[in-house]
Amino acid sequence: MEHGATGGAVLTQALVFLGATCLVVPALRKAKLSAVMGFLLIGVAMGPHVLGQLANSWPWLSAFELREDQPTEVLAELGVVFLLFVIGLEVSFERLWALKRYVFGLGLAQVVLCTIAIAGVALLFGNTFAASAVLGLAFALSSTALVLQLLREGRQITTPVGRISFSVLLMQDLMVVPILFLVAALGVDAANTLSGHNVLIALLSAFVSLLLIFTLGRVLLRPLFRWVASIDSHEVFIAAAILAAIGMAAAAQSVGLSMGLGAFLAGLLLAETEFRHQIETDLGPFKDLLLGLFFVTVGMQIDLALLLANPALILVGVFGLFAIKIAIIAPLARLFAIPWPRALAIAFLLGQAGEFAFVVVAAARANGAIPEATADYMLLVTALSIFVTPFVATFGGRIARRMVRAQHRIEANLAQEGGHVVIAGFGRVGQTLADILDKQEITYVAIDSDAALVSSMQSLDNPVHFGDSSRHDVLASIGAGNAAAIVVTINNPGSVNLIVTQAKQAWPHVPVYARARDGEHARRLHELGAALASPDTIEAALQLGEALLSGIGVPDEAARRIIDERREAEIAKALYQAP
């Protein structure tokens, strides 16, 4: 009977979580807010500090309360594991090696400097050396789960900001074992003695363990998936993917490393295999729901009564944490030759405390390194810093975009800078291309003859200018001669022909990409020198074909591959076959 009661409680918790998710998250997404914020709000409102307190007066509310228990915490941690596993699938060894200077340079410098600065501020506020050191170590790290989820929602994982932020987070995960060792050494039982020899041993032990896990995974994972794929069972394939993620995570945890780091290694190893896309598709729903549960548990940590009892001190702590980390990370990133807009975006994104702070605080409280009151304060500051990060990151992104647009408005006197993309025509196609370039942080400047459109775009800080793009001198004034490329998106075949002709005559070294009306027009543009001409009629048929294939049951990845192959064939036929 007791087991049945426990099972019923778990089922009730699952129903409450799923019901709240279905109600709150869609509402916030319609309001163009992050799903992360929805899960955090669910945790605050339905956790022990709000609904739990109301249930003392109205017991029937307890049926809707989300409780902090072991099953919930385990499922939440699995969400982080699956997130890092999927991130690993998106990162190749080549990309990771290319980021080594950010991982071991910027990442390590950020952890060290933030630890020293935060610990120093804590000492000034009268904390003991042990408590200050714990504060520095705990708050130097950021929230891997939150930052990566925000980057994924904004489709920024592959952008420079996303890659550099991920590099810093990866270094922070590597520092988990040494930091836990240092926290243990700061306890009262350790007499506050630190041994450089012991710290070095801990670092070497972590590195060797990581190498062994990596080697074992490289030997086992590919043969395992080939064996499973040979029986053509979707269910068994999903089981193998879950086994790979959780197995590597458990192996990492068994040697004292972060579970997320182990899962990331598993994803990284499988990223080089033919199974990558299928695994990512299959695990997506598991990852999103379990990660949502993790953010719910973070929201449950926010004690509104404690916040309202001393709001000024706690808000100063949250604001001060962001201020210190932003003031360190942004200039540090600039030292690594990262432009100021990106440096600021990264700093605002990484300014919060991380989920690892909950582990550090618990360990420090257990060994007597920090008193109970300080621990409660730290937990609330940690949870609140995570809670406000979506807003802070959005604010930082806006500042960065404004700086980029201000720096790269390519007027006549700045046209010699070069390296930008010139967009001739800023209608629907031009705006779509501009949005793609913006998300990849590639500078562009556009020109259009519609004065009303240009005015509205400039009011949104888009670098769009009024003018006739078919005139050579107008294109020259916005730096076409030094551009990385010229894109012609005008829906007028005669004007497109003229622009391509003039551009190739004036600047033969600049590639020109053009929008064509049909296959015959595409051939003509190719003869005029266009690097590529995309026919509207062909693209419309291809998009319709992809939707049709998906609609009749062809897997999305397979449909996309079929259409990509057909697109290449159609463009080649349009360009090179005789009419």
pLDDT band per the 50, 70, 90 thresholds, residue 281: confident
Q: Token match 């079929």: residue?
A: 562
Neighbours of 89 (CB within 10 A): 25
Asked if the model's pLDDT at residue 204 lies above 60, the reply is yes
CA separation for the pair 219, 405 (Å, rounded): 48
CA separation for the pair 147, 349 (Å, rounded): 7
The confidence score (pLDDT) of residue 191 equals: 43
463 φ/ψ angles, rounded to the nearest 5 degrees? -75, 70
The confidence score (pLDDT) of residue 571 equals: 62
CATH ID of 68-405, from 2.20.25.90, 3.50.50.60, 1.20.1530.20, 1.10.760.10: 1.20.1530.20
Judge whether 130 and 186 are in contact, CB under 8 Å.
yes
CA separation for the pair 387, 57 (Å, rounded): 28
Contacts of 153 (CB under 8 A, 6+ apart): 34, 35, 36
The confidence score (pLDDT) of residue 329 equals: 95
For β-strands 464-466 and 421-424, DSSP reports them as: unpaired
Contacts of 390 (CB under 8 A, 6+ apart): 33, 34, 36, 37, 150
pLDDT band per the 50, 70, 90 thresholds, residue 185: low
Burial of 434 (0-12, 13-18, 19+ CB in 10 A): buried
The confidence score (pLDDT) of residue 121 equals: 93
Run of H or E including 531: none
Mean pLDDT, residues 255-265: 76
The confidence score (pLDDT) of residue 325 equals: 96
The confidence score (pLDDT) of residue 456 equals: 78
Torsion (CA) 147, 153, 159, 162 in degrees, nearest 10: 10
CA separation for the pair 568, 283 (Å, rounded): 30
175 φ/ψ angles, rounded to the nearest 5 degrees? -85, 0
Q: Which residue has the higher pLDDT, 312 or 563?
A: 312
CA separation for the pair 494, 516 (Å, rounded): 10
The confidence score (pLDDT) of residue 22 equals: 79
Mean pLDDT, residues 415-421: 63
pLDDT (tens digit per residue) in 430-449: 887 787 777 666 778 889 98
The confidence score (pLDDT) of residue 578 equals: 40
Mean pLDDT of the chain: 78
Asked if the model's pLDDT at residue 319 lies above 90, the reply is yes
Q: Global pTM?
A: 0.63
Q: Which residue has the higher pLDDT, 135 or 303?
A: 135
Mean pLDDT, residues 70-86: 71
pLDDT (tens digit per residue) in 376-409: 888 889 888 988 998 899 898 888 877 766 654 5
Enter the tokens of residue 168. 């810093």
Residue ranges of E strands in 413-474: 421-424, 444-448, 464-466
User: How many residues does the structure list for the chain?
Assistant: 579
CATH ID of 412-576, from 3.30.300.30, 2.40.50.100, 3.40.190.80, 3.40.50.720: 3.40.50.720
- Report the range of poorest mean pLDDT among 57-61, 245-249, 416-420, 459-463: 416-420
pLDDT (tens digit per residue) in 484-518: 889 898 888 888 899 999 988 888 888 888 888 87
The confidence score (pLDDT) of residue 187 equals: 61
Domain boundaries, the chain: 1-48, 68-405, 412-576
pLDDT (tens digit per residue) in 143-181: 887 888 888 777 777 677 888 898 898 888 777 767 766
For 421, the 3-state DSSP assignment is strand
